[in-house]
Amino acid sequence: MTHFKKVPDSSDGWNYAKNYINLNGNNIITEDHKHTKEVQNLVMEISHPLNGFPIKNSGWDINALDIYAEQLLDFSYDCKGFDYTYNERMSRQIYYITKILKKHPTTRRATAYLWLPEKDLETNMHHPCQIVADYKLRLGKLYATHFFRSHDILQAWPTNVYGLAKLQEKIANDLNVLPGSLTTISASAHIYIE
């Protein structure tokens, strides 16, 4: 089942997602034996993704969000002790995405893939939750769509959206356009039950 919601800003999006999962979610026990409440295929389009931060009661202040965003924008292959980082998986691709959007503004190929089958399917290492980032330059704005196979709405959603909105803003600035909406597609939008 797919549920779509358009929201004006990220604060509204986060609060909507939490409430929707609490009201409509199914109790699921993960392969890691963690109890969650989950909805499948939650799609949220955020009209102004950088508005609404810091989100009240999210546990993330603006300084922590900026640190997260800076790490995402610091295109490096140093994983700093992790099996992967989003910037390590995306950085080279973002360079080419920007380049192709400059050359072919209507391209449908401005897509980054974060899933590495030979690593993510064949090993027990950590697996990225976000697996696709897609950008479209339309009507003078840069639109972003991010597909998450697994999305921790309480803990990860605010930082994910803030960091990805900052990345969208950077790419838009490089293209000399405005950022448009940011859409998250969460195949498993869930809340961990303590």
Q: Tell me the one-letter amino acid at 148.
A: F
Q: Tell me the one-letter amino acid at 141.
A: K
129 carries an active-site annotation: yes
Q: What is the DSSP string of the chain?
A: --EEEEEEEHHHHHHHHHHHHHHHPEEEE-TT--EEEEEEEEEEEEEETTTTPSPTTSS--HHHHHHHHHHHHS--S--TTSS--HHHHHHHHHHHHHHHHHH-TT-S--EEE---HHHHTTS-S---SEEEEEEEEETTEEEEEEEESSEETTTTHHHHHHHHHHHHHHHHHHHTSEEEEEEEEEEEEEEE--
The residue from 129, 133, 161, 185 that is catalytic is: 129
Catalytic residue list:
129
